Amino acid sequence: MNSRREFLQKLTGSALALSVLPGTVSAISKEFTEMPYDGPVLRVAIMGLGSYGTRVAEAMRDCKKAKLVGVISGTPAKIKNWQGTYNIPEKNCYNYENFDRIKDNPDIDAVYVITPNALHHDEVIRVAQAGKQVICEKPMALNAKEGEEMIAACKKANVKLLVGYRMHFEPHTLEVIRMRKADEFGKIMFFQGLCGFDIGDPTQWRLNKKLSGGGSLMDIGIYAINGSRYMVGENPIWVTAEETKTDPVRFKEGVDETIQFQFGFPSGAVASCLSTYAMNNLDRFFLNGTKGFAELMPSTNYGPIRGHTNKGEIDQPTVTHQTVQMEEMSDILLRGKQPVVPVDGEEALKDLKIIDAIYLAASTGKKVDLNL
Ligand code: NAD
């Protein structure tokens, strides 16, 4: 494959498809990623060197448009280890006490916050006040009020706030969105999102409400919430929800084990979703319209994502989600690119408003109206 154009044509098959797949084509072929690049590079510091931070760092090794250049951690030994592994200079290393000083560091453009959920609010605001672009992991915050404060702080500091919605750049996902927009499924009537895994270790922060903000819904159910919006192409106007618990010892008060929730959309379409910490390998999106269906299974794990429609297999490349995400986020932050599905703070705030509504509906047993 000699050129970008040839690659794109092979990938999408037609000039029409090219015009509707802007998010999928930039970093998904080995041949393509190996092409020389001399444009701007987003210089990123990762805050929180845990399991997902490590996954992002490893994936960034293959990025051309983004580079890991700094770390923020409370554990000196981890910092040393990362310095060796990723060739990070001493001057780009910070801890949670002194990271506000990052404002005086011209060699870091953005900080990627990958810490437990409850810390995102204060950390994102401090990064914004230091004048750096912010990428924050999902869920962006514990509730909509926190999310609004984070968005306001970033606006005030004139920095952008993006959220790590890696599926928004995943080729099978984007192909279903393209087909839906092209009316290939007809009028959308129904979405089902099933998201779960067995959480394991009862002592981890994910089961501590103070650090997690809740249970499975905050962590894995958010994929069904967000997915229902990008698959159906609308925002819900009402929510109902029911919580069930089989293990009240592991899942304490305020930490949901399993929640089922339902959405109604302005068009009349409905969604039915399940979020759980009690079942492994539950990972399926199903969209049905008057003409046809799309199924993604798995739909949100690290991949390979697989899917088919009533027309057959969804033939798209397998990618490392975090590599593509960071390439695309570089384009968004440095070149003002508009992604097919937004990944900004406002997008994440909608999910937080829905999470608030689901918890309210589950605790009251009442239907909750939404105006997003
Ligand atoms: P983790 O426990 O593996 O890592 C968390 C890191 O934060 C650790 O290095 C820990 O030392 C550090 N930390 C800093 N202050 C802490 C404190 N007060 N208490 C506990 N830890 C503290 O967790 P993780 O799986 O890496 O998750 C981190 C974030 O990333 C969460 O918000 C999670 O939802 C998100 N995440 C996103 C994805 C995704 O696919 N987008 C996947 C996994 C996790």
Which tens digits make up the pLDDT trace of 133-187?
A: 999 999 999 999 999 999 999 999 999 999 999 999 999 999 999 999 999 999 9
Per-residue confidence at 298, pLDDT binned at 50, 70, 90?
very high
pLDDT at 118: 98
Percent of the chain with pLDDT over 90: 90
Distance 138 CA to ligand 1 centre (A): 10
Computed over every residue of the chain, the mean pLDDT equals 92
Provide DSSP, 238-269.
Answer: EEEEEEE-S-TTTS-TT--SEEEEEEE-TTS-
Helix pair angle (144-156, 120-129), 10° resolution: 10
Instruction: Give me ligand 1 centre to Cα 342, in Å.
Output: 23
Report the C-alpha gap between 137 and 166 in whole angstroms. 10
Nearest residue (by CA) to ligand 1, atom 30, is 114
33: confidence class by pLDDT, cuts 50, 70, 90 = low
How does strand 93-94 pair with strand 66-72? parallel
- Tell me, in angstroms, the distance from the centre of ligand 1 to residue 114's CA: 5
Q: State residue 306's pLDDT score.
A: 98
pLDDT of residue 35: 78
What is the number of the ligand 1 atom nearest to the C-alpha of 219? 34
**How many angstroms is it from 72 CA to the middle of ligand 1?**
13
Q: Would you say 195 and 274 are in contact if contact means Cβ atoms under 8 Å apart?
A: yes
| Nearest Cα residue to atom 44 of ligand 1 | 52
Q: Which residue has the higher pLDDT, 30 or 103?
A: 103
pLDDT the model gives residue 13? 31
> DSSP character for 311?
T
User: What is the percent of the chain with per-residue pLDDT over 70, rounded to a whole number?
Assistant: 91
Provide the pLDDT confidence category of residue 11 given band limits of 50, 70 and 90: very low
- What number is the average pLDDT over the span 242-269? 97
Mean predicted confidence (pLDDT) in 77-102: 98
Q: State yes or no: is 223 an active-site residue.
A: yes
* The pLDDT value given to residue 34: 67
**Cβ-Cβ contacts under 8 Å for 251 (sequence gap 6 or more):** 207, 215, 245, 257, 277
Q: Is pLDDT of 20 > 70?
A: no
> Is 138 annotated in the active site?
yes
Per-residue pLDDT, averaged over 203-227, amounts to 98
What is the atom index within ligand 1 of the atom nearest the CA of 75? 11
Model confidence band, residue 3 (pLDDT cutoffs 50, 70, 90)? very low
Closest CA to 94 of 41, 60, 132: 132
Query: pLDDT at residue 25 above 60?
Result: no
DSSP-derived secondary structure letter, 193 = E
Residue 30: per-residue pLDDT: 55
Ligand 1 site, CB within 6 A: 48-53, 74, 114-117, 119, 137-138, 164, 166, 205, 211, 219
The answer to whether the CB of 67 falls within 8 A of the CB of 133 is no
Please give the distance, rounded to the nearest whole angstrom, from the Cα atom of residue 71 to the centre of ligand 1: 14
- Give strand pairing partners of 42: 66
Does 72 score more than 50 pLDDT?
yes
Residue 2 scores a pLDDT above 70? no
What would the pLDDT profile of 258-272 be if each residue is shown by its tens digit? 999 999 999 999 999
Structure tokens, 81: 């280890």
Q: Name the catalytic one among 64, 132, 138, 350.
A: 138
Give, for ligand 1, the residue of 58, 81, 114 to mutate: max count of ligand atoms closer than 8 Å to Cβ.
114
Ligand 1 atom with minimal separation from the 204 CA: 2
For the CA of 166, the closest atom of ligand 1 is: 41
Burial label for 351, CB within 10 Å (0-12, 13-18, 19+), is buried
Q: What atom in ligand 1 is closest to the CA of residue 211?
A: 19
CA of 50 to the centre of ligand 1 (A): 6
Q: Is the pLDDT of residue 41 over 60?
A: yes
Lowest-confidence segment of 8-17, 225-234, 320-329, 352-361 by average pLDDT: 8-17
What structural domains does the chain harbor? 4-165 (3.40.50.720), 167-317+345-369 (3.30.360.10)
Residue 202: is the preceding peptide bond cis (ω within 30°)? no
Q: Of 33-42, 43-52, 232-241, 243-252, which gets the smallest average pLDDT?
A: 33-42
Mean pLDDT over residues 233-237, rounded?
A: 98
Tell me what pLDDT residue 32 has.
53
pLDDT confidence of 346, banded at 50, 70, 90?
A: very high
